[in-house]
Amino acid sequence: MGILNSFHHYLHPIEALTEIHRVLRPGGRLCILDVNADNHLVRWMDGRTRQKEAEHVRFYSSVEYAKMFEKAGLKAVESRMILPPVKVHIAER
């Protein structure tokens, strides 16, 4: 199992997920723990953070994670709130 909490810094998220898919064994799981952009306040905060932090790319919504997982060949298993606005997004090879 791999755990990430820096996904909002990745310039090429699909490419990163594709590489993760490549190195995960069959049945292996990826857990991304990060701020989730499912609500308006977080989307606003995302824009402000991009202005202040050059290394910040963006926060993603649960729907966006599911679509990115699919594009990378991963199966979205679950998205679960940890502590608002942080969610864990779990995918499986």
The number of folded domains in the chain is: 1
Q: Can you tell me which residue has the tokens 């940890």?
A: 82
Whether residue 86 contacts residue 34, with contact meaning beta carbons closer than 8 Å, is answered with yes
Check residue 3 and give its pLDDT: 61
Enter the pTM of the model.
Answer: 0.92
CA separation for the pair 89, 49 (Å, rounded): 21
Average pLDDT, the chain: 94
Show the domain range for 25. 2-92
Give 42-87 pLDDT, tens digit per residue.
Answer: 999 999 999 999 999 999 999 999 999 999 999 999 999 999 999 9
In contact, 76 and 65? CB cutoff 8 Å = yes
CA distances to 46, 50, 78 from 4, in Å: 19, 20, 15
Give the pLDDT mean for 5-17: 95
Domain of 11: which CATH number?
A: 3.40.50.150
